[in-house]
Amino acid sequence: MIVLPNQEYARPSGLPLAYDLIRPDSGVPPLVIFIHGGGWISGDRSMYRDEAIWLADKGYACALVDYRLAPLHPYPAAVEDVSTFLAYARREHEELQIDPARIVAIGNSAGGHLASMLGVFGPDRANAVVSISGISDLTNPEDAHLPIAMAFLEQFMGCSYLGNEDRWREASPIAHVSPESPPFLVMHGDLDDIVPLAQSERFRDALLAQGVPVEFVRFGGEGHSFTWDGWTRIRERYLGYIEEIFGHSPSRQ
């Protein structure tokens, strides 16, 4: 296994942004981009390190990516950063020794939102997306969001919803779904008390309405922070999903 820590991929306004690459010793595997959660205001790339080591052992290259955090850097900073990394990975695919046509974005919570944006927004998109407990629709806050989530959302957006409805809609993955969107695996716990399950259900329906392949998994008895058993099932499902999307497991090449 090869570990390349603290690699710079961009410097917006002079601020260095880094990623860690963890990959098998050989081959040209798919790349899995891990995007951490934390309500867009906290967290860092180390949060997925153990997951990346586990997945790299299965034959996948994994990138752990930092992005600018709100409220100091409100929307669209985080979306721009993960999009910049995706473009960077494709541009530098020979140096990274990854397959630029097999890139998966994975994230939970705020990371699920950003991973989803990588699948539906902008000219350069991931080839598959795994969204775990992610917000997909930032609009209609009085009905669609719980009060605890609104505190994060207003910091992420850098403005209130009223008077800025178009901006909040632009930041919503559900607003950008099209027939060109890549396959999605959407997972959510039915006891989530931060991001309602209905967020993922509506996103699933929007994807299906556009003919986008989507698998939806509802985890009974799980909240926003998954139990170890719940996360083990998530891990098994997304690994199986990636293998299905790309036709085989790199570890069996």
What pTM does this model have?
0.95
pLDDT, tens digit, 9 for 90 and up, residues 115-161: 999 999 988 999 999 999 999 999 987 767 777 788 899 999 999 99
pLDDT of residue 150: 83
pLDDT of residue 45: 95
Contact 186, 203 (CB under 8 A): yes
pLDDT, tens digit, 9 for 90 and up, residues 131-144: 999 999 999 877 67
Is 252 a member of any domain?
A: no
What span, in angstroms and rounded, lies between the C-alpha atoms of 192 and 20? 30
pLDDT of residue 141: 77
pLDDT, tens digit, 9 for 90 and up, residues 74-113: 999 999 999 999 999 999 999 999 999 999 999 999 999 9
Give Cβ neighbours of residue 116 (< 8 Å, ≥ 6 apart). 105, 107, 129, 131, 134, 136, 173, 184, 203
Is 213 a member of any domain?
A: yes
What span, in angstroms and rounded, lies between the C-alpha atoms of 243 and 178? 24
**What type of residue is 99?**
D
Contact 64, 19 (CB under 8 A): yes
Query: What's the domain range around 142?
Result: 2-246
pLDDT of residue 251: 58
In 57-211 the beta strands, taken as DSSP E runs, fall at 61-65, 103-108, 128-132, 184-189
Is 251 a member of any domain?
A: no
Is 81 a member of any domain?
A: yes
Is 253 a member of any domain?
A: no
Is 122 a member of any domain?
A: yes
Is 108 a member of any domain?
A: yes
pLDDT of residue 151: 84
Is 95 a member of any domain?
A: yes
Structural domains counted in the chain:
1
pLDDT, tens digit, 9 for 90 and up, residues 158-193: 999 999 999 999 999 999 999 999 999 999 999 999
Report the CATH number at residue 23. 3.40.50.1820
